[in-house]
Homo-oligomer: A and B are copies of this chain.
Amino acid sequence: MRPVTVYDIAREANVSVATVSRVLNNTAPVKKETRERIVALMHKHQFQPNALARSLSRKETGMIGFILPDITNPFFPEVLSGFDYEARKLGYTYFLCDTISTNEENERQYDRQYERESQYLNLLMEKQVDGIVMIGGRVDLAKPGSELEREVEEASKRVPVLLLNGNLPQTKLNRISADQKLGAQLAVQHLIDLGHRDIAAIGGYAKMTNTQQRLLGFRTAMKEAGLPVRKEWILTEGFSVEKGREFASRLLGAKRRPSAIFCMNDLLAIGALKAAHRVGLGVPEELSIVGYDDIPQATYSIPELTTVSLQSQEIGRQAARTLDKMIAGKKVPRLQSIMPELVVRETTAPYTGPPL
């Protein structure tokens, strides 16, 4: 059966569509009597306004596009859930745009990530979303390259775009970002305070801003404490549990090994935990480990991870509020910085090795 429209309601109520529209949107006073008649009819026919038509004429859709790299990476659901909470309150609904996802062989496809982002950017604009938020992918690159940047900048002229936890340096897009350097400093300072001097750093990708910033924080903290940074103790290129295990194994297998490891995220830390376990090294007694991100899984391990909370939920919420303002045409600060917090749990303990 053909869905019922405002015309159907109008006809049966002996009014014009304008009046129906008015009671639908409460956009102008309508005589109580006729209003009630119309409302009754709407219920009777289970009338559901066609949002497409409405959006077409109103020129706003209440839809947002959320572009992220990989929903199975537990960091993103955290951000998303905060975003969801606020966005819903503000009356938005959103498209989830995963630029990686998993194919039949169950393998992630990173190679086409940026291409996907471009596709989604266009698709979302065609769908007439009111705004777009981007996290991960090219936004994490220290030097995305002008083409990747230009594209987003171009998009931002048509629709508000907000970047999360990253940047596109050649553009002046709005963004919300945790202070990555500070987070790393917090973590490393914590280790130093515990008496550790031989500290390694593992994970991340050299080309990513977050990694560079965290490494910078690491170096800064070490330097301020007058501690040397050993090159062989900085192992990058990877963010997975598997990589964490690999990096840590390498570290722990060497003749001289660190007494503490600073990991670029929690997954790596979980991998490091596994490596330590494998070689029979007690954590935290013999080896301290600190993670980064504070994903829920940080409390699943034994022992539970000491880590740096990026306040991911908060970033998500902030994102929704900010994007809403941008959509409303209000001014928002170009950069909103979120303060990370050190969360001390069970993988760090005072240094107990031979006196230095």
Contact = CB atoms under 8 A, between A and B. Distances in A.
Copies in the complex: 2
B127 A102 contact: no
Interface stretch (A45-53, A202-210, A218-226): A45-53
A236 interface: no
A94 B93 contact: no
A106 interface: yes
A21 interface: no
A52 B50 contact: no
B317 A51 contact: no
Interface residues of A, number: 58
Interface of A: 3, 46, 48-53, 55-56, 61, 63, 66, 70-72, 74, 77-78, 80-82, 84-85, 88, 93-98, 101-104, 106, 122-123, 125-128, 154, 158, 241, 267, 270, 273-274, 277, 296-297, 299-302, 313, 317
A106 B317 CA distance: 11
A159 to B, nearest CB: 10
A3 B128 CA distance: 11
Contact of A101 (B70, B88, B104): B88
A66 B94 CA distance: 11
A97 B126 CA distance: 21
Contacts of A66: 96
A81 B93 contact: no
Contacts of A56: 50, 52-53, 56
Nearest to A83: B101
Contacts of A299: 241
Contacts of A3: 158
B106 A313 contact: yes
A300 B78 contact: no
A29 to B, nearest CB: 25
A313 B273 CA distance: 28
16 contacts: A50-B126, A52-B55, A53-B56, A63-B95, A71-B71, A71-B77, A71-B80, A71-B81, A72-B78, A81-B98, A93-B97, A104-B317, A277-B302, A297-B297, A297-B300, A301-B301
